[in-house]
Structure 1
């Protein structure tokens, strides 16, 4: 099994790809957590929420 993987890609390349995938997964999870903190209601006006005029 290891010999087959070594023929496909160098073990150092595989280590790099696995680390890159881990960083990308952590980044996607961070973005998903940030999106959940945004307000659910759509902003119906122009400007900041606390500066709306009646």
Structure 2
């Protein structure tokens, strides 16, 4: 079985691809979390981001 996978892709290449995929997934999750921050259910949910001054 390892001969077949060695012919398809080098194990070092697979390691790099897996690391890139993991980084993309983490980045996607961070973007979703940042985008959903104003909509979180908490006491000051309508105030927007914490670092924006209220007027």
TM-score computed with the length of structure 2 as normaliser: 0.65
Whether 1:4 and 2:18 are equivalent positions in the alignment is no
- Count of paired positions: 41
Structure 1, unaligned stretches of length 5 or more?
40-49
- Which of these two proteins has the greater Rg computed from alpha carbons? 1
Structure 2, unaligned stretches of length 5 or more?
40-53
CA RMSD in angstroms comes to 1.3
Secondary structure at 2:17 match in 1: helix
- Which residue is 1:26 aligned to? 26
Deviating runs (4+, > 2 A) in structure 1?
none
